[in-house]
Amino acid sequence: MATVLITGISGFIGSSLARGLLAEGASVRGIDNLCTGNLENLEDIRTRIDLRRADILDIGAINDACDGIDYVFHQAAIPSVPKSVVDPMGTNGPNLNGTLTVLEAARKAGVRRLMYAASSAAYGDSPELPKTETMLPAPISPYAVQKLAGEHYLASYTRVFGLETVALRYFNIFGPRQDPTSQYSGVLARFISLMCQGETPTIFGDGSTSRDFTYIDNVVHANMMVAKTSAPVAGKVFNIATGKRITLLEAYQEIKQITGYSGTVQFKPEREGDIRHSLADISLAQSVFGYRVVAGFREGLEKTIEYYRQTSPQAIAAL
């Protein structure tokens, strides 16, 4: 049975990974400083994990956490473009120096493989679609630069120190436990939470903006597949998405259909710097380590909406 470390375990993706890995029989240790994460995300599994409240910049705590670990799933970060614009230096600490700290501790501890939550933000706003891993990155925001620089550190640690690292570039992940209350949260979490409470969502632009919206189960599946594959993945970068794009208007209409929301949507001018379209080529992950889309957009929406309904029953009453 493998022993794994998840950084950012109290967050949306980290807590989902924890459930997936526990279900596979792994022994799970987690680190989080709770800056954006929430202990409620771990409520039902809290007694089954070794949870440590610590900052990934604390090398002593990370060294201890890596002791005896086979696989590291490094998810901790401040995952926000706007926050990185307001505070480039403050976010560089956790997003880049934090990654370096985790790499260093993993290397010293002799960890077998480290998986890293990279971001599609690395591609920037080049109009070319779909995005393939061989494209030249063109990060725009400090957040995108920090996440991309982390990828380069991973590749360096593989080449220089022989630590097996893999960067998974996530594209617009959504699902249960994503925080809908923050102004920085994902658009689907905001739409679902507002519409479940009978409140009007806002679309910036005419609604034709599109994204490769990816349900969380696909991310959990990708991480587990890449951790155990015997294919040569060390030092490589893979897109993790669905290979399909959905416009904001389509997403709104599907949520409306599932929730029974009877209100309208409001349109506001497009925001400066918003990327128009995003779509991944996922063939590399499919061919190298057997990644596949385990849950599509509609199924993901239905599960996410069900989760919000169960966790906030007042939402149903508002419909």
Write out the catalytic residue numbers. 143
Paired with 28 in beta bridges are 4, 49
Interacting residues of 164 by C-beta distance below 8 A, sequence separation 6+: 112, 113, 114, 158, 233, 234, 235
Identity of the residue, 120 or 158, whose beta carbon is nearer to ligand NAD in the bound complex: 120
Identity of the residue, 6 or 163, whose beta carbon is nearer to ligand NAD in the bound complex: 6
Sort strands 214-215 and 210-211 into parallel, antiparallel or unpaired. unpaired
Identity of the residue, 31 or 105, whose beta carbon is nearer to ligand NAD in the bound complex: 31
- In terms of Cβ atoms closer than 10 Å to its own Cβ (0-12, 13-18, 19+), residue 22 is middle
Separation of alpha carbons 270 and 68, rounded Å:
49
Interaction site with ligand NAD (CB under 6 A): 8, 10-14, 31-37, 55-57, 75-79, 94, 98, 117, 119, 147, 170, 172-173, 186
State the minimum distance, in angstroms, from the CB of residue 260 to ligand NAD: 26
Separation of alpha carbons 130 and 190, rounded Å:
26
Identity of the residue, 16 or 158, whose beta carbon is nearer to ligand NAD in the bound complex: 16
**In this structure, are residues 240 and 291 in contact, taking their beta carbons and an 8 Å threshold?**
yes
State the minimum distance, in angstroms, from the CB of residue 295 to ligand NAD: 15
Find tokens 């063939």 and name the residue: 283
Identity of the residue, 149 or 316, whose beta carbon is nearer to ligand NAD in the bound complex: 149
Identity of the residue, 4 or 261, whose beta carbon is nearer to ligand NAD in the bound complex: 4
Q: Which of 172, 194, 198 is nearest to 181 (CA)?
A: 194
Separation of alpha carbons 41 and 20, rounded Å:
14
